[in-house]
Structure 1
Amino acid sequence: MTGAVFLFDLFGVIARLQSAEGKDRIVRTAGIPAPDFWDAYWTQRPPYDRGEVNGPGYWRRVAKTLGTCFDDHQIERLVAADIASWSGVDDTMVDLVEELAAQDRRIALLSNIPGELASHYEVRHAWFDRFEVRALSCRIGRAKPDPDAYRWCQRALRVPPDRVLFVDDRQDNIRAAEAVGMRGHLFTTAARLRERLAQSEAESSRP
């Protein structure tokens, strides 16, 4: 089989990382000092990303870690604020996704993303449907850098791992992909990514 498959991370590549304004809104809604809050936020995030708890369940776990309690209205506001903080996209990268899809290139997505946020993107962004495979952690029960997350993608794509170029903004996720035999590209800019995609396509087309 020839031709590369381009497997994209979402946040930090196609979608923006949390904005400072969005993070401030979450902290204000929680009413907890920022350092303690973010420790609890990230400590409890993996089960949420893997779909083991929903949004309200996640925020109750965060509250318990902080030794406090969020009422139902506050939890609703926290879920909304969290979604908003992750909702920005890079239009240049969206254009690249659309371009690759129009060229019938094989593109896929592997993202650590909780259920409520996944639904937000599926409903609001038509380009989300351009990906042949969407490996969303909340749906597949595996999150990067767990090797099984990458293996799940390989099985779904039905290609040898060395035909997959994985694009992510985190070096630890790149290393995990390379450990299962994929090739990796650490994302910095769309221009450099374009160069790497062309190189990868040429490499994969060799006998």
Structure 2
Amino acid sequence: MPEAIVFDLYGVLARDQSEESKRAIERLAGVADGRAREFWEAYWALRPAYDAGQPTTEYWQAVSARLDTVFEDVAALADADLESWTRADDEMVALVGELADRGHRLGLLSNIISDLVPLMEKRHGRWLGRFDALTYSCRIGVAKPDPRAYEICAAQLGVPTSQVLFFDDREENVLAARRTGMTAELFTSPSQTRQAIAAHFS
């Protein structure tokens, strides 16, 4: 039986960007018709360094250089990007509370940029406070699927990786977790997560 349950944040406990927020970011970036795909490819290709602690201005400079363009208002673009990542999934938040109330040791392992951490903790501090350890990529200097991220998370929880049940919505992160010894499940829905937890703790 696992000693700790660890959740990814985005795509599991918090929602991914909405289509509306994406369009707002594209407008602020001055993305021309037909270049949206190119913009998002650059956005994601350069994200790992940003998740691992790269300053915001350097990230957006790198994106603009990749696209061979100049963003007119980087501050507004960065703010819109931050805002797009602040929505929580109420059903999963409720599950966190239930697990904490039952005495489970809980951890969070998130690829997250440094400017977003204080915003998330301000808005969602009540339920984030139910975790025994919050492991943020920007603060540990590595991001999933780097094995060190999982090892640091387990160490912060005070358990070996072999005693962690981990949930993530990205298959590459699930497979990487398993390679470190964690029991890992691909997140698909709150109900699937509840069933998986029940199976592991029955």
TM band (smaller chain): over 0.9
Matches within 5 A, 1:5-16: 5-16=4-15
Whether contact under 8 Å (1:112, 1:144) holds in the other structure is yes
Equivalent-residue separation in structure 2 for 1:56 and 1:97 (angstroms):
34
Equivalent-residue separation in structure 1 for 2:188 and 2:44 (angstroms):
24
Q: Residue type of the partner of 2:104? A: R
- TM superposition shift of 1:58: 1.1
Q: Which has the higher mean CA deviation after the structures are superposed, 153-162 or 41-50? A: 153-162
What is residue 161 of structure 1 aligned with on the other side? 161
Percent identity between matched residues is: 46
Whether contact under 8 Å (2:10, 2:16) holds in the other structure is yes
Gaps of 5+ in 2: none
Whether contact under 8 Å (1:97, 1:130) holds in the other structure is yes
**CA pair 178-3 structure 1, distance change in 2 beyond 3 A:** closer
State the TM-score, normalizing by the size of structure 1: 0.91
Equivalent-residue separation in structure 2 for 1:157 and 1:87 (angstroms):
25
Matched, 1:119 2:114: no
What is residue 75 of structure 1 aligned with on the other side? 74
State the TM-score, normalizing by the size of structure 2: 0.93
What is residue 59 of structure 1 aligned with on the other side? 60
- TM superposition shift of 1:67: 1.1
Equivalent-residue separation in structure 1 for 2:71 and 2:75 (angstroms):
10
Matches within 5 A, 1:1-207: 3-32=2-31, 33-51=35-53, 53-71=54-72, 74-125=73-124, 126-202=126-202
Equivalent-residue separation in structure 2 for 1:3 and 1:174 (angstroms):
16
Q: Residue type of the partner of 1:63? A: S
Gaps of 5+ in 1: 203-207
- TM superposition shift of 1:122: 1.0
- TM superposition shift of 1:3: 4.9
Equivalent-residue separation in structure 1 for 2:84 and 2:196 (angstroms):
30
Whether contact under 8 Å (1:4, 1:201) holds in the other structure is no
Whether contact under 8 Å (1:9, 1:110) holds in the other structure is yes
Equivalent-residue separation in structure 2 for 1:185 and 1:6 (angstroms):
11
- TM superposition shift of 1:128: 1.2
Q: Which has the higher mean CA deviation after the structures are superposed, 190-199 or 174-183? A: 190-199
What is residue 205 of structure 1 aligned with on the other side? none
Equivalent-residue separation in structure 2 for 1:172 and 1:61 (angstroms):
25
Whether contact under 8 Å (1:171, 1:186) holds in the other structure is yes
- TM superposition shift of 1:4: 2.6
Equivalent-residue separation in structure 2 for 1:4 and 1:56 (angstroms):
40
- 4+ aligned runs moved over 2 Å, structure 1: none
The size of the alignment, in residue pairs, is 198
Equivalent-residue separation in structure 2 for 1:85 and 1:124 (angstroms):
13
Q: Which has the higher mean CA deviation after the structures are superposed, 172-181 or 59-68? A: 59-68
- TM superposition shift of 1:135: 0.8
Q: Residue type of the partner of 1:30? A: A
CA deviations 1:127-171 (Å, max 9, x no partner) are 111111111100111100001111111222222222100101111
Equivalent-residue separation in structure 1 for 2:27 and 2:68 (angstroms):
17
